[in-house]
Structures are given as structure tokens and as C-alpha cells.
Amino acid sequence: MQIVGIVGTAKNSGKTTTLTSILEEVKKREISVALTSIGYEGEDLDNLTFLPKPRIWLETETIVATASLTLDTAKLKYSIIETTNIETALGKIHIVKIEERGKLVVAGPNNIDDLSKIISSIKNLGIDILFIDGAMNRMAPMYMAEKIIFATGGSRNISIPILAEEMTLIDYLFRQKLNNNFKNVETIALANNETIIETGIVALLDINDYNLLAKFNPENYDTIIIKSVFSANLMKLLSKKVLHKKEHNICFWEPFRLLLSINSLSLDEFYKIIPKSINVSFSIKPKLIAITVNPFYPEYENYSFRTKYIDKEELKTKVAQSVSVPVYDVYEDGSNEIVNLIL
């Protein structure tokens, strides 16, 4: 079973449109699919702007993992395959089979352990592809996917150069090396050749963490392993005070927690935190296969929002020039090529 994550960089970035287009294409090819979401997706109206949102239309035979309250308001027929013991704010997660084409709000597991349980259950059903729907602010569990698609656009930022810069950074991170040497490390660790020293420090979040790490003399080691989130300011301090003294490597657990930690929009800003002289790698890294772009953004005026668009051709061109993966506007391009990349 292939596991594919679709990550939206902001609300209304085109993630649902991308997902719906892909689901339509795989249905044509008679590929069996399952779907879940990290959190809540699929509402008819955006709950902030009240503008219409694309709804997740599901075809018959689709497997969905979603919370019980979403099924209570479902506008389609389904049968329950499994009721899990996973609790969410919207009730227990059920794994269901869609028996009649229709729309459904999808609210799946919201943490890594629960998503892992859902993946295991769906694998047993003989499904070809599991899609995981996520967003930038809740994307940490996405490292469990094998392939990733990012969706971005005007709702993230109406500046096309800034959007292109952010995608340059994301593309850069997902092109860094995979390092399998430190998967069993539990805390921040230091390594030289085959020697690994665990510090017992869980995360680099405050100055006390930094001072504890300094006592281990990290400048004497070739590699620092950071499995959890960190403070960008402390990482900048570590780079400036310690890691400049010789060639260093930093191995992070996966790219999503790094993105959440740095909260950076460009590669230049990233280099201010982790200079390009430092080699970055990851213990786990999905493959970035495509980026989709959406020119829409909601503009606030006279106490309400209205639909606006940035230049769609310029958006697609500028992002495509900035990254190493294909870029699509699925509304116009469809998803045939994206599905080829998935398969």
C-alpha cells in the first residue's frame, strides 16, 4: 500500500481541490483508495471567511477513517468496517466503506500514534493507496507518508516571489540526505564515527536546554542528532557559537518538525539559522513528488470576505522555476500526471 500525504500551506491553498482531483483520477483507473485526515477537513463553507469551499466527494468503494460525529451528518451511504478505540473531539474514529457517491466531512486522528494505528488497520484491507490530508499547522504526523504533495497559493501569501521562496525552501529540505544511522536515538545526541552519546535532553527549547547541551562539548563531535522540535533562536546560537568551528552535520528526525521549528519562509532565512556549511540530513524523509498552486485568496473588505485571485500563470511559472519537482494547477491541468508520479 502506498501512503501519500497532501499538505496545505494555509487554509484555502487548494489542498481539497488537489485531493478531489486525484481521487477522481484514481477512480477512473480502478485503483482502490482510502482516505483520512489529520484533524478536520471537508466543511461546505470556510469557517473563517464563510466563502464556499470545495467539498470532498467520495466514490463508492472508497475507505475512509473519520470520527463518529462526521458520519452522523454524512450525505452518503456507508458501512462500518471497524470501530477503533481512538477518541477525538468529534468522537471515536470509524473505518467505513462508502457505498454511494457523496460528500463527507473527514476528521481523522490527530497524533502520530493514532495515525499509525489507522495505517495498520487500512493495510489489512488490501488498499492500493492511502491518502492523508493535512495542513501546515498540523503536519508533524505526515512523515509517516511515503510521498508528499504540497499545495500552496494566494491564501498563503499574495506575493508570488514569497510563495516561490517558501517552496524553494521546502524543496531544498526534501532533497537533503537520508541518514539511517540514528533511528534508535531517543534524545538529543552527539556522534563521532560509530560513537553515539545520548545527552538525555529531550528538546532544544529554552536556554537551560542549550546550557545542558554545552556541557557535553558538542564542538568535539561531528554530528548532532535532534529528534524533536527546537527553538530557531537557540539553533542559531548553537550554529554561531559551536558548529562553525569545524565541519558539522545535523541529523533531524524528519522535515516536518524542522519546518514547524524554524517557521521560515525562505532559504536565505533558513541559512541564518542553519548555515549552508552545516550538512543537514534526516532519519526519515518522504519523497516530495509535486507541488500544486492555487491563485485564489479571500480578501477582507467592508466586514466580509470576497473572492480574489493572484496571477495564475505567473504563480505557476515562478514556483516551477524555483523547485526541482513538477508544479501543477489541478483545476486546469487535472491530476493525470500527479497520479503517474504516485504510482
* Residues 138, 187 within the same domain: no
Please tell me the pTM assigned to this model.
0.92
* Residues 204, 132 within the same domain: no
Place of cell 545527552: 199
What pLDDT sits at residue 85? 96
Grid coordinates standing for 172?
Answer: 531544498
Last residue of a domain, one of 282, 310, 331: 282
What pLDDT sits at residue 322? 97
* Residues 129, 201 within the same domain: no
Burial class from Cβ neighbours inside 10 Å (0-12, 13-18, 19+) for residue 163 reads buried
User: What interhelical angle do 232-241 and 207-214 show, nearest 10?
Assistant: 30
What pLDDT sits at residue 245? 64
| Cα 89 to the center of its chain, rounded Å | 21
Grid coordinates standing for 29?
Answer: 483507473
What pLDDT sits at residue 41? 55
Structurally, how many domains does the chain consist of?
2
Q: What is the DSSP string of 61-117?
A: T-EEEEEHHHHHT-BS-EEEEEEEEEEETTEEEEEEEE-S-EE--EE---SHHHHHH
Grid coordinates standing for 127?
Answer: 488498499
Range 170-208 burial, b when 16+ CB lie within 10 A, else e? bbbbbebeebeebeebeebbbbeeeebeebebebbeeee
* Residues 191, 163 within the same domain: no
Angstrom CA distances, 330 to 15, 45, 125, 156, stand at 10, 21, 29, 17
Last residue of a domain, one of 264, 282, 300: 282
* Residues 225, 305 within the same domain: no
> Where residue 150 sits, what CATH number does that domain have?
3.40.50.300
* Residues 22, 144 within the same domain: yes
DSSP element (H, E) containing 296: strand 296-301
Task: For residue 187, give the 3-state DSSP assignment.
Answer: coil
* Residues 166, 183 within the same domain: no
In tens digits, the chain (343 residues) has pLDDT values of 999 999 999 888 889 899 999 999 999 999 999 999 997 654 544 444 333 344 688 999 999 999 998 898 888 899 999 999 999 888 999 999 999 999 888 889 988 999 999 999 999 999 999 999 987 777 888 999 999 999 999 999 999 999 999 999 999 999 999 999 999 999 999 999 879 999 999 999 999 999 999 999 999 899 999 999 899 999 999 988 887 667 789 999 999 999 999 987 899 999 999 999 899 999 999 999 999 999 998 887 777 778 889 999 999 999 999 999 999 999 899 999 999 999 9
* Residues 187, 138 within the same domain: no
Q: Which domain holds residue 289?
A: 2-175+285-342
* Residues 57, 206 within the same domain: no
* Residues 41, 148 within the same domain: yes
* Residues 182, 277 within the same domain: yes
* Residues 297, 262 within the same domain: no
Last residue of a domain, one of 282, 298, 314: 282
